[in-house]
Amino acid sequence: MPTAAHSVPRHVAIIMDGNGRWASNRSMPRQLGHRAGAEALRRAVESAVRHGIGVLTVYAFSSDNWKRPSEEVSAIMLLFRHYLLTQIEECRREGIRLSVIGRRDRLPESLIPLMESAEIQTASGSRLHLRLAIDYSSREAIFRAAGLARTQEDFTLFLGPDVDLLIRTAGEQRLSDFLLWECAYAEFVFLPQPWPEFDDSLMTQAIAQYQARERRFGSLPDSAARRSKVS
C-alpha cells in the first residue's frame, strides 16, 4: 500500500536533541539534562512497545560529540554505563532486544563488556529491537559497508532496516549524520519540545503525523493512479 494511513511505523528513529538546552534554561548543569534525557528514553521505549513499533533506533552519542567538554563527555559515558547496568534485566524481562551501533574502539573499556553482555542477554527479545547509536557516524558506517557489501541488499545487513519515521526533538531540522542510508524514504517529524520532555503523548502525536501522510515511494497517489487507469 502506498499510504501510511492507520498503519504503525515499523522502524522509528529518534534524534534525542535538547538535553543541554533544557538544563541550561532551568539554570541546571548540562549533566542533569542528560540524566533527564535518560528518563525520557525509558518513556520512549515503553511508548514504542505500547504502539507496537518493531525497531527503535536512538541517536545517543554522535562521533562529533567527542568535541564537547571532557567533563560532559565523561558524564555521558557514566550515564551509558548506568543505563546498561540498570536496564539489561528489564529489557530481558520485557522482551526487548538491545543492540549498540557505532564504533567501540574509542569508548571506555569498561563499557564494552556491558554492551556485549546486554546484547547477548536480550538477543531473544521479540517485542521491540532497541538500537542505541553510540559514537555513531552514518557517513562512516556507509563507507565501511561499501567496502563489504556486494549488493544493495547487503547494505541493509550491514547498516540496518529502512526507517519509516524519523523524529527529532528541540526544533532542529536536520539529520546530523544519522541513518542517512536508512532514512531514504523516511517521514520526518520535527518537534519543538526538548528531549527530556518526550513522552507517550509526543510519540502518539508523531505517529499521527506519520499516519496522515501518503507514502508513495515514487509511485502515483491512489487517486491519480485510479484516474490513469480510467483514461
Residues recognised as catalytic: 17, 65
d(CA 21, CA 24): 5
The C-alpha angle 146, 97, 215, rounded to 5 degrees, equals: 60
Collect contacts of 68-74 with beta carbons under 8 A, ≥24 apart. 71/31, 72/20, 72/30, 72/31, 72/34
What the block records as the C-alpha cell of 166 is 524519523
- Contact between 74 and 44 under an 8 Å Cβ cutoff? The reply is no
Question: Which of 163, 176, 141 has the alpha carbon at shortest distance from 65?
Answer: 176
